[in-house]
C-alpha cells in the first residue's frame, strides 16, 4: 500500500463506495508542497506538463526543492519559472541542455544536477511506484553516466544498478478526470505522467476537464483513481506549450549533403520495420518515408505509428515526437507512456535506430551525447536506443568543420554505447562493420576515395565493388 503523506484523502460517496477526489485550486495545491521536498513533475517538454500547478508553486516562498522531471521545461515556463526563482536546489532528469538557464545555474554552482538516461529515469520512477528498491539495466554500462554504481554481469551482459525514485509530491497533467480521480491522457501526453502518478506520497492531477463518474469507460482509464489525491482544473492554451505550440517552431537544417545521408539511411529500412529516428539528420528520414514503405516509426516519448509533420498547428491539435515537434498519427498508431516506450527499446522490440554521432570508432563504439567544451547535462534517450535497438545506423558529417576525422581509432569523447554500431553513413562514405572490421562499402555522391582515406582516422577495409584492401 502507498504511504499516506500530508493531505492524503479518502472520501467516498455515502452508500455507494465510490471515492470522490477533492477539487482544489492551483494555489491550494501549491500550498501542499513544503520546502526541501522532492517534487515529481510530469511532461515531455511542455507536452503533458502541469503548467498551472507549477506556476502556482512559483508564486510561493517554497525553496530547496529536488525537482524530478525529464528536463527543467523551457525558460520561464513551468519548471523554468521555479528555476528563475531559485526555488530548485537539485534537478534530476535526462536532458537539461534544452534550458540554457539550467546550464548556467549549474555552472554557477547553485543548481545540483543528477543526469540519468531517459529510459532509466522512467523506469526508476516506475520502480518507485511499484515498491521496488531498484533494478539492473544495460543502459549506460561502461560510460561516465554509470559512475560508481554497482555493476554486475547478468545473462552475459554488463548491467548497472539504478535505485528507484519516489517523490513527496507529484504534479501531473491529464486530459480528463472523473470525480473518482480516474485519469485519461490525450495523445502523447502520457509520457512521465503515468509513472509519476504512482510514485509519490501526494499526487495532484491538473486536468483539462472533470466529468461525472462513468463518463470515462473503464477501458479508457489510464491511471486509476486510487493513485490520485486532488484534482485541479486548468485549461491549456498555446502560450503554455512553448516550442511545441506550432509545428513551425521546429525548423530543420536542410542541405543536399544532409539529404543524401537521409536518403541513404532510408534504403536500410524495410517494410514492417519498427524504427526510431533520433534528432538531427535522422529526422530528415521521416519526411522521406511514405505509406508505401511500410515502416512503423517509434518515438521514445510514447508513440508508435508516427506520421509526417502537419502543415500547420501544434501540440494542442497533434501528438509530438521526441524532438517535441507536432506530428500526425498513421492508421493503426498507438500511444503509451515513456516507461513502456523504453521497455520496447531495451527489450529489443525496435528493429532499427538511426541516430546522429560525434564519433564512431573502429570497435563500433559510439560517442554522441557530450559535445567538447560543453557541460555534460543532456543525454536523453541516446544510451537506451544505442544499446537496445537490434540495428544501429549512425548518420554524421565525415569530419568536424576543422577537418578532424569523426571516424576514429578509439573514441576520445564520452561513450554512448560500446560495440553497438552496425552502419555509418557520412557525407563522404558508407561504412559497415563486417566480422568486427570497419569496412568501406560505398562512396557518397560527389566524394572520392582519396577524400575518404584522407578524412578517416581509423584503419578500415575497402570493399568497393569487388576490390578489397586495407588502408
Q: Which residues are catalytic?
A: 300
β-pair partners for 176: 184, 209
List CB contacts of 1: < 8 A, sequence separation 6 or more.
none
List CB contacts of 166: < 8 A, sequence separation 6 or more.
38, 125, 128, 129, 199, 200, 201
β-pair partners for 112: 90
Give the position of cell 498508431: 333
Q: What are phi and psi of 437, to 5 degrees?
A: -105, 135
Distance between CA atoms of residues 129 and 227, nearest Å: 10
Nearest to 388 by CA among 348, 418, 336, 353: 348
Contacts of 59-64 with CB under 8 Å at 24 or more apart are: 59/27, 59/30, 60/30, 60/31, 60/33, 61/35, 62/30, 62/33, 62/34, 62/35, 62/87, 63/35, 63/36, 63/87, 63/89, 64/35, 64/36, 64/89
Task: State the DSSP string of 169-208.
Answer: EEEEEEEEEETT--EE--GGG-TTHHHHTTSEEEEEEEEE
Give the position of cell 539495466: 137
Distance between CA atoms of residues 423 and 145, nearest Å: 25
List CB contacts of 156: < 8 A, sequence separation 6 or more.
none
User: What's the burial of 252, exposed, middle or buried (CB within 10 Å: 0-12/13-18/19+)?
Assistant: middle
List CB contacts of 112: < 8 A, sequence separation 6 or more.
89, 90, 91, 106
Q: Are 209 and 233 in contact (CB under 8 A)?
A: yes
Q: Give the strands of the sheet with 437-443, arranged side by side.
A: 329-335, 303-306, 296-299, 274-277, 352-356, 391-395, 423-425, 429-434, 437-443, 461-462, 469-470
Amino acid at each position: 500500500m502507498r504511504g499516506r503523506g500530508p493531505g492524503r484523502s479518502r472520501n467516498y460517496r455515502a452508500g455507494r463506495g465510490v471515492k470522490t477526489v477533492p477539487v482544489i485550486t492551483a494555489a491550494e495545491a501549491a500550498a501542499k508542497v513544503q520546502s526541501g521536498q522532492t517534487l515529481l513533475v510530469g511532461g515531455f517538454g511542455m507536452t503533458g506538463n502541469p503548467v498551472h500547478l507549477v506556476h502556482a508553486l512559483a508564486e510561493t516562498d517554497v525553496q530547496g526543492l529536488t525537482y524530478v522531471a525529464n528536463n527543467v521545461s523551457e525558460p520561464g515556463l513551468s519548471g523554468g519559472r521555479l528555476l528563475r526563482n531559485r526555488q530548485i536546489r537539485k534537478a534530476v532528469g535526462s536532458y537539461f541542455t534544452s534550458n540554457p538557464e539550467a546550464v548556467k545555474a549549474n555552472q554557477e554552482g547553485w543548481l545540483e544536477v543528477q543526469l540519468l538516461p531517459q529510459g532509466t529515469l522512467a523506469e526508476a520512477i516506475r520502480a518507485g511506484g511499484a515498491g521496488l528498491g531498484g533494478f539492473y539495466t544495460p543502459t549506460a554500462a561502461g560510460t561516465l553516466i554509470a559512475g560508481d554504481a554497482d555493476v554486475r554481469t547478468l545473462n552475459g551482459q554488463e548491467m548497472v544498478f539504478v535505485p528507484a525514485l519516489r517523490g513527496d509530491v507529484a504534479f501531473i497533467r491529464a486530459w480528463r478526470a472523473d470525480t473518482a480521480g480516474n485519469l485519461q491522457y490525450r495523445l502523447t501526453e502520457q509520457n512521465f505522467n503515468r509513472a509519476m502518478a504512482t510514485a509519490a506520497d501526494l499526487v495532484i492531477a491538473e486536468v483539462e476537464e472533470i466529468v461525472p463518474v462513468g463518463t470515462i469507460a473503464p477501458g479508457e482509464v489510464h491511471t486509476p483513481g486510487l493513485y490520485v489525491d486532488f484534482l485541479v482544473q486548468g485549461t491549456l492554451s498555446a502560450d503554455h506549450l512553448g516550442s511545441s505550440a506550432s509545428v513551425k517552431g521546429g525548423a530543420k537544417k536542410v542541405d543536399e549533403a544532409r539529404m543524401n545521408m537521409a536518403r541513404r539511411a532510408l534504403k536500410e529500412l524495410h517494410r514492417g520495420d519498427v524504427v526510431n529516428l533520433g534528432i538531427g539528420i535522422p529526422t530528415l528520414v521521416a519526411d522521406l518515408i511514405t505509406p508505401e514503405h511500410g515502416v512503423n516509426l517509434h518515438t521514445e516519448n510514447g508513440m508508435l505509428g508516427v506520421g509526417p509533420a502537419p502543415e500547420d498547428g501544434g501540440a494542442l491539435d497533434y501528438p509530438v515526437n521526441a524532438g517535441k515537434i507536432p506530428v500526425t498519427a498513421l492508421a493503426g498508431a498507438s500511444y503509451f507512456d515513456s516507461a513502456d516506450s523504453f521497455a520496447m527499446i531495451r527489450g529489443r522490440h525496435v528493429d532499427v535506430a538511426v541516430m546522429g554521432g560525434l564519433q564512431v570508432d573502429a570497435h563500433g563504439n559510439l560517442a554522441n551525447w557530450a559535445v567538447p567544451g560543453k557541460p555534460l547535462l543532456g543525454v536523453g534517450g541516446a544510451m537506451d536506443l544505442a544499446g537496445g535497438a537490434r540495428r544501429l545506423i549512425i548518420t554524421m558529417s565525415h569530419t568536424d568543420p576543422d577537418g578532424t576525422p569523426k571516424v576514429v581509432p578509439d573514441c576520445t569523447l564520452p561513450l554512448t554505447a560500446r560495440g553497438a554500431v552496425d552502419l555509418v553513413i557520412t557525407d563522404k562514405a558508407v561504412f559497415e562493420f563486417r566480422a568486427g572490421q570497419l569496412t568501406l562499402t560505398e562512396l557518397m555522391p560527389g566524394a572520392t576515395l582519396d577524400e575518404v582515406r584522407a578524412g578517416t582516422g581509423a584503419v578500415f577495409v575497402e570493399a568497393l565493388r569487388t576490390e578489397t584492401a586495407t588502408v
